[in-house]
Structure 1
Amino acid sequence: MLRFHPVYFLLTILFLTIEIIIAVYVNDRIIRPYLGDMLVVILIYCFVRTFLRMGVNSAILLVLGIAFVVEVLQYFNLIKFLEFQDSALAKTILGNTFSYEDLGMYLLGGFVIWGTEMFHRKRRFV
């Protein structure tokens, strides 16, 4: 079940770097809230696939489950409950505002992952 996949590791580093750049330098109404949410699902997927040997669909469902749980915890104001409301790092990692649009972007990220994986799988067997 455990393994190390170097390609997914490099993709994890790439998407983490992009997410950090977005978090630090981008403060707009499109890239940070929408593209950032979609990319975080891809980042977590690549991280999971770096260390766990699991199928594409299982990994996507796991990652979407994690993303949805974090979003629901935002609905219940977890940041305030944990008394991290003044922590910029906690707000960046956990978020602080529930949004149905975020859930949609997570799903879109899942579809992007699935489509990319299916494209590459098909190309390997041609």
Structure 2
Amino acid sequence: MRCKPYYLAWTVLLLLIELGIALFVDDDFIRPYVGDVLVVILIYAWVRAFFKVAILPAALGVLVFAFGVEILQFLNIVEVLGWESSAIARTVIGTTFSWEDLVAYTVGVGLLLGAEKVVGPHKHEWTSLH
């Protein structure tokens, strides 16, 4: 496995931004919506940093993963598994389903695909790696 420094840098930057939002922002827009838009971009950057996967499959995979986590929230999986007292499970999986989150994830993936098309250094890697 070979690391792509460009995506690793984005991973670190977005992780720091997400941590800043989680620790210091308590509002009705940035934390719930911007945070969700950025989290899919963060996961995508991490995937592209460490795994040999093309742009489109990586982006769609991240979107499916994010939707999957949201569906688990809809199914109250944390409670079903008896993990209500686990702060880690409640934070990582989440406990509240929201249609708006699905929209935010989709917007995030749309933004990252647009950025890859316009300025991405690896924009030739859309469906396969050369």
- TM-score normalised according to structure 2 size: 0.87
CA distance in 1, matches of 2:8, 2:113: 18
Q: Which has the higher helix share?
A: 1
1:8 paired residue number: 7
Equivalent residue runs for 1:20-35 within 5 Å? 20-35=19-34
How far is 1:120 from its partner? 1.5
Q: Which amino acid letter does the alignment assign opposite residue 88 of structure 1?
A: A
1:91 paired residue number: 90
**Is contact 1:9–1:50 with CA below 8 Å preserved after alignment?**
yes
1:115 aligns with 2:123: no
Runs of 4+ in 1 over 4 A off after TM superposition: none
How far is 1:53 from its partner? 1.5
Cα deviation, 1:69-101, whole Å, max 9, x if unaligned, reads: 000000000111232323333322211111111
2:128 paired residue number: none
1:104 paired residue number: 103
1:18 paired residue number: 17
1:42 aligns with 2:41: yes
CA distance in 2, matches of 1:93, 1:20: 13
CA distance in 2, matches of 1:61, 1:121: 17
- TM-score normalised according to structure 1 size: 0.89
Task: Tell me: CA distance 1:26–1:87, structure 2 relative to 1, closer, same or farther (3 Å).
Answer: farther
Q: Which amino acid letter does the alignment assign opposite residue 32 of structure 1?
A: R
Task: Tell me: CA distance 1:50–1:121, structure 2 relative to 1, closer, same or farther (3 Å).
Answer: closer
Cα deviation, 1:94-124, whole Å, max 9, x if unaligned, reads: 11111111000000000000000000259x8
How far is 1:64 from its partner? 0.4
2:127 paired residue number: none
The percentage of counterpart residues that share the same residue type is: 45
Q: Which amino acid letter does the alignment assign opposite residue 93 of structure 2?
A: L
Q: Which amino acid letter does the alignment assign opposite residue 119 of structure 2?
A: H
Q: Which amino acid letter does the alignment assign opposite residue 36 of structure 2?
A: D
**Is contact 1:23–1:92 with CA below 8 Å preserved after alignment?**
no
Query: Unmatched 5+ residue regions in structure 1?
Result: none
